[in-house]
Chains A and B, each alone.
Chain A
Amino acid sequence: DVVLTQTPVAQPVTLGDQASISCRSSQSLVHSNGNTYLEWYLQKPGQSPQLLIYKVSNRFSGVPDRFIGSGSGSDFTLKISRVEPEDLGVYYCFQATHDYTFGAGTKLELK
């Protein structure tokens, strides 16, 4: 089974700063069809998760351009430039190349 390792577990930030979250997979997430099914979700307190990024770097409808996904193979990053209050919560990476697996989450919180 694929294991996704997210770091850090918690990321204290000051509003307006940049934040970066890493997601490493135990195996390559390149599908046999050439696509890489790595997604990022944000779960705000008391809410359902919401899709931010799909296929590594594509922003879902309505997601601000301060959210930038990158990476390839088994190493991926989500960068949030100029963190705003509504960005606080837990971020999960998720892979859908080999069955489905979530990372353990990274909590973006205020310093």
Chain B
Amino acid sequence: EVQLKESGPGLVQPSQTLSLTCTVSGFSLTDYSVHWVRQPPGKGLEWMGVMWSGGSTAYNSALKSRLSISRDTSKSQVFLKMNSLQTEDTAIYYCTRFDFWGPGTMVTVSS
């Protein structure tokens, strides 16, 4: 069964760095790409970036300067790091294959 699950801190202080982990099961990261998508409270979806199955990455141009995505295939994990967080980065963060989605993890940026 394909599953994705996000994990990370629920609260991050302004100007700090967000680190999230997406742990997958039921498929290999070398066969499928994994994307990160976020959704501010009450708002729409924003594509953030992707870890391609081949190991390369691509990022939303609006976030590129702050965002880094990496992976550990041996642990079936994809990592998101985003620095210089501000209150507008408060959102639910999803990892997804698009045909399957994680439940999301809420991240609040606040002091």
- 0/1 string, B72-96, CB within 8 A of A gives 1: 0000000000000000000000101
> Would you list the 4 A-B pairs with minimal beta carbon distance, nearest first?
A48-B101, A100-B47, A102-B45, A105-B44
| CB neighbors of B among A79-109 (8 A) | 92, 94, 96, 99-105
Instruction: List B10-55 residues whose CB lies under 8 Å from chain A.
Output: 35, 37, 44-47, 50
Pick the residue among A1, A43, A51, A103 that contacts B98 (CB under 8 A). A51
For A51, the chain B residues whose CB sits under 8 A away are: 98-99
Q: Could you tell me the distance between the alpha carbons of A9 and B17 in the complex, rounded to whole angstroms?
A: 34
CB pair A48 B104 closer than 8 Å: yes
In the assembled complex, which residues on chain B have CB atoms less than 8 Å from the CB atom of A71? none
Count the A residues whose beta carbon is within 8 Å of the partner chain — how many? 20
Interface of A with B (CB < 8 Å)?
Answer: 1, 39, 41, 43, 48-51, 54, 60, 92, 94, 96, 99-105
**How many B residues have CB within 8 A of the partner chain?**
18
Q: How far is the CA of A59 from the CA of B100 in the complex (A)?
A: 14
Given A48-B94, A99-B58, does the pair A104, B99 have CB atoms closer than 8 Å? no
Pair B47/A49 contact, Cβ less than 8 Å: no
CB closest chain-B residue, reference A103: B44
Determine whether B8 belongs to the interface, using a CB cutoff of 8 Å to chain A: no
Provide the bound-state CA to CA distance between A101 and B103, in Å. Answer: 20
Min C-beta distance of A107 to chain B, whole Å: 11
A101 to B47 CA separation, bound complex (whole angstroms): 7
Q: Tell me, rounded to whole Å, the shortest Cβ–Cβ distance linking A53 to chain B.
A: 12
Q: A102-B45, A102-B47, A105-B44 are in contact. Are A39 and B101 (CB under 8 A)?
A: no
Task: Identify which of B37, B94, B103 gathers the most chain A CB atoms within 10 Å of its CB.
Answer: B37
